[in-house]
Structure 1
Amino acid sequence: MLLGFKTELYPNNKQKTLLAKHAGVARHAYNWGLWLTKNILNHNFNNPSGKLKFPTAIDLHKLLVAMVKPNNYWYYEVSIGCASICFEVFIRWLEALL
């Protein structure tokens, strides 16, 4: 038997700001992973002999830390977990497509 509970949140202004920042980082990380994957697909389509492998969630996270975080200081204002979970969801979505 499944039970469901409805919960309402009443965040204060500081919590609303943190929620918005986490959502923004997750959105940016997801879109960045999508952009990178589209570039890999285009490369593999144009170069059948030199195909690149698709990155895993761990690979995406390592690339994000190396390439994106130094240029975007606001990534350091939130928990890194939101980007990591975002990549896991993205990889599951990508595997469902392929």
Structure 2
Amino acid sequence: MPLPAAPDRKPTVPARRQAAADLKANNELMIKGILCVLIGLGVVVSPYFITSPGMQSIVARSSLVGWFALVLGCAFIGLYVRRRMAASAKS
């Protein structure tokens, strides 16, 4: 039995479904950005509030990870803002 022929054109996605998918992706990007910023701030600032010297040194040594999370979160938020501005300029 032969296989069916390949489709000639892409399937059409209704505009409402595509807009809903774009909105969901943008909202998830914003949530990821906020969470990364909060984690980064927590790791960078927490050594100043920890009273145990051993725990304070452990958290202070991981400050590079905190800065990375902070920068990554700011990048996610910046990308979210850029997408929102492009969407408002398009419509």
Using the size of structure 1 for normalisation, the TM-score is 0.40
TM-score, structure 2 as length reference: 0.42
Higher normalized helix content (fraction of residues): 2
